[in-house]
Amino acid sequence: MAGREILLISLIITMFLAPCVKATSIMGLLENSDAFDGKIVTVRGEVIGVLVKGDHAWVNILENGYAIGVWCTAEDAEKISVVGDYTHIGDTIEVTGVFHRACPDHGGDLDIHAETLTLISPGHEIPRSLSPFLTALGLILLVTGILVTVFVRVKKREPFHPLGY
Amino acid sequence: MIPKLGREDFEIIGYNLGKIFNFLAILFSIPVVVALIYGEIDTIPYFLITSGVTLILGNVLIFYTCTKKPMELKHAICLVALTWVLASVLASTPLWLANATSSYLDANFESLSGFTGTGLTVAVDIDHMAHSVNFHRHLLQFVGDGIGIIVVSLTILGRTEISSVLAFRGEAREEGIRPSVVRTSRTIFGIAITFLLIGAIMFAIAGLHEGLDLRSSIFDGFCHSMTGYATGGFSTRSQNLLYYHGLWYELVGMVLAIIGALNFNLHYVVLRGKRREILDNIETRTFFFTLLLASTLISFCLLSSNVYSSTEAVFRKGVFQLVSAHTTTGFATVPSPQLALMWPALPIIIISIAMLVGGCANSTSGGVKALRVGILIKAFFLEVKRALLPRSAVVRGRFHHVEDSPLTDTVIKGAAMIATGYLLLFTLGTLITMGYGYDTEASMFETSSALCNVGLSSGITSPSMPTGLKITYMLLMWMGRLEVITVLVLLAALALGIWRGKEWREEKSS
């Protein structure tokens, strides 16, 4: 009897949660956009862009090489402090919201309208340093190139031209 | 009899190639300025190495092949075909050193895609790419496809008139705007710079309107203007123009792509006050007619199949992708997996055909070109008319392209030859792609995109695609940019050279 009750409760819970799907990846959303259309999804990704438009904002998130736009309130977007670029890894956020394969409010864009936006981990700077070996090689090659240019012009008695003509 | 290439011929080719390398060395050093502006000091050595190597190679070639002999058509064709390959190999160095691609082959794919104005990308992490490296990618498209490397290096920087004429023909830009080719090239350069600046300002304003910060809107605007006018399609973002989620940004992209796809001759004539030329010209008529027809068909397909439910969505997704394909630009507002999996087969096929038709001749776009398609349609109707009239009736065709010209058999044969070349390569490319296990529509789409230098993708092009397919697409991009014939002449000359060399060795040994 207890087994049947548990089964019944599970069925009821499943029915209520039917439109709410946990997506594991942005790639999964892109490849199965019909299946996820209009459902509540949860995705995680690195912030690669924030475009504020009045009291709302577009937050573009990236995960495993695939990106998607999230439409959220400007207030939610303010939680983001680091946007990913060459010198930064952006904040990682988790978004729960309604997925649209062709959003009727945004000219058919594939997007998520966020209901909640949570900061999972803050972004950080990527240390970039000048390679002494590559710098030395670059300078040597450039100086050699210039010397060879001068040598060829003198040897072949070609008129000097700023661009080698 | 086909003339063979001897030592003197190689000297002429080598000497001019050396000159072009010297120009490229300067071009490859320009991103250093961007690196300094954005404080990306660590990327500077990549460009110094590339410039240095190119300068050394260029001058070594000049030293060993120095000649004052004039260039002939065979030299120009070989020079053009070789330049595109060698320039791409050299331009791939910064991409490879910056780890912008996952292999050296991918770096070559990316730079060839840049130089030919294709826009198919195998870059691994565009969103974290250095501004200087990203600028380098965009600059390749602007110079390679927007104005033409050889035309720039041989004419604007002062080479002889004859060599310029020949190189001009080799680069698939057969008509001159002005009596002198040097002047023509300078006019092309002037037009390109004007539209580049206007486009950059418009993109920057649109970027600010969409909520982008000032710094990013200026950089993105300048880069997108370079690739939009060049009908290249590279973007500073992995989502391409979808990143901006804005109608105005997309409109600027569309307008700039259409401007880039129009004949330089038309720009010049219209700028001189002959606005009626837009309506009278067979090429613009064909281009806008096919654009309108395909837009209507695609809109109908997407609405009736419920892919998009509003007119705005159909315009921003359907018509935008079509304009991008027809002008051979490659800007996208639909992610590749969605395009391949959500769109029905018919719009994909329509876009593939639009890519094959391409933009106008003597423009920055690829494909068979609207002028040739217009001539072939006219010739078709002329033949029908001939069949209906009595045998004694004289039927002569005419077409208007800047000036009235007779529709001769030579004109028709020329157009048919190029169109046949493209169709053969398209069939071959599609079959090869299908051989790797991809479905028919996606294979047709990706092959048209590579061959006609478009850049839209159905998801096949990626760093993980098979090596054989990468090489196939690289060959298609190269042959498509040079309109097939130039490459065939080079291959024939090389094959003939090898065959005659073998004959000579046999004679010597006997």
Which distant-in-sequence residues (6+ apart) come within 8 Å of B312 by Cβ? A107, A108, B247
Q: Is pLDDT at B176 greater than 60 in this prediction?
A: no
Confidence of residue B150 (pLDDT cuts 50, 70, 90): low
- Buried b / exposed e across B402-432, counting CB within 10 Å, b at 16+? beeeebeeebbeebeebbebbeebbeebbeb
pLDDT score of A36 more than 80: yes
Closest listed residue to residue B367, CA positions, set B257, B469, B477: B477
- The model's pLDDT over B468-509, given as tens digits with 9 standing for 90+, comes to 999 999 999 999 988 887 777 777 777 776 676 666 667 667
Structure tokens at B215: 């710094």
> What is the structure's pLDDT at B362?
79
A129 CB burial (10 A radius; 0-12, 13-18, 19+): exposed
Show Cβ contacts of residue B300 under 8 Å, excluding neighbours closer than 6 positions: none
Distance from CA of A28 to the nearest CA of B (A): 10
Does the CB of A146 have a partner CB in chain B at under 8 Å?
Answer: yes
Q: What is the DSSP letter of A80?
A: -
Q: What is the pLDDT of residues B381-437, one digit of tens each?
A: 999 988 888 878 888 888 888 788 888 888 899 899 889 999 999 999 999 999 999
Of B56, B62, B127, the CB nearest to A144: B56
Collect all residues of chain B within an 8 Å Cβ-Cβ radius of residue A69: 239, 242-243, 245
Structure confidence at residue A13 as a pLDDT band (50, 70, 90): low
What distance separates the 2 farthest-apart alpha carbons in chain A?
103
Q: Is the pLDDT at B253 greater than 70, yes or no?
A: yes
pLDDT: is B111 or B176 the higher one? Answer: B111
Contact partners, residue B54, CB within 8 Å, separation at least 6: A145, B21, B22, B24, B25, B28, B90
pLDDT of residue B501: 62
Q: What is the pLDDT of residue B158?
A: 44
- Give the distance from residue B243's alpha carbon to the nearest chain A alpha carbon, in angstroms: 7
What is the DSSP secondary structure assignment for residue A44, as one 8-state letter? Answer: E
Closest chain B C-alpha to A41 CA, distance in angstroms: 17
User: Cα(A3)–Cα(B493) distance, rounded to whole angstroms?
Assistant: 82
pLDDT at B144 over 70: yes
Higher per-residue confidence, B355 vs B176: B355
- The residue of B157, B245, B310 whose CB has the most chain A CBs within 10 angstroms, and thus the best one to mutate to test that interface, is B245
Which residues of chain A does B51 touch, with a Cβ-Cβ cutoff of 8 Å? 141-142, 145
Report the DSSP pairing between strands A111-121 and A124-125.
Answer: unpaired
Q: Please determine, for residue A76, whether its predicted confidence score (pLDDT) is greater than 90.
A: yes
Interchain pair A149, B97: CB under 8 A: no
Share above pLDDT 90 across residues of chain B, in percent, rounded to a whole number: 62
Subunit contact A86:B23, Cβ cutoff 8 A: no
How many pairs of residues across A and B have Cβ atoms under 8 Å apart? 178
Residue A131 has pLDDT above 80, yes or no: yes
Q: Mind listing the pLDDT tens digit for each residue in B448-463?
A: 999 999 999 999 999 9
CA distance A8 to chain B (A): 37
Q: What angle do CA B52, B193, B239 make, to 5 degrees?
A: 80
Distance of CA A7 to the CA centre of its chain: 41
With CB atoms and an 8 Å threshold, state whether B316 touches A107: yes
State the Cα–Cα distance between residues B58 and B53, nearest whole angstrom. 8
Kindly give, in sequence order, each residue whose CB lies less than 8 Å from that of residue B292, ignoring residues fewer than 6 positions away: none
B335 to A110: CB separation less than 8 angstroms, yes or no: yes
Q: Which of A145-149, B118-122, B157-161, B424-428 is predicted with the least confidence, judged by mean pLDDT?
A: B157-161
Q: What is the rounded CA–CA span in Å between residue B415 and residue B368? A: 8
Say if the Cβ atoms of B127 and A102 lie within 8 Å: no
**B185-221 per-position pLDDT tens digit:** 777 778 889 999 999 999 999 999 999 999 999 999 9
Predicted pLDDT of residue B164? 47
Minimum Cα–Cα distance from B97: chain A residue: A134
Cross-chain Cβ contact A30/B335 below 8 Å: yes
Q: Stretch A114-135: mean pLDDT, rounded? A: 95
Mean pLDDT of chain B: 88
- pLDDT class of A157 with cuts at 50, 70, 90: low
Tokens of A83: 């946007």
> Residues of A with CB below 8 A from B22's CB?
149, 163-165
* C-alpha–C-alpha distance, residues B113 and B99, integer Å: 17
On the question of pLDDT at A140 being above 90, the answer is yes
With 50 as the cut, is the pLDDT of residue B264 above it?
A: yes
Question: How close B52 comes to chain A (CA, Å)?
Answer: 4
Phi, psi of A37 (to 5 degrees): -55, 125
Spatial CA neighbour of B86 closest among B31, B152, B169, B16: B16
Q: What is the value of ipTM here, to two decimals? A: 0.85
Residues 6+ apart with CB under 8 A from B75: B9, B12, B13, B16, B166
Question: What CA–CA distance (Å, rounded) separates B139 from B24?
Answer: 11
Predicted local distance difference test score (pLDDT) of residue B159: 45
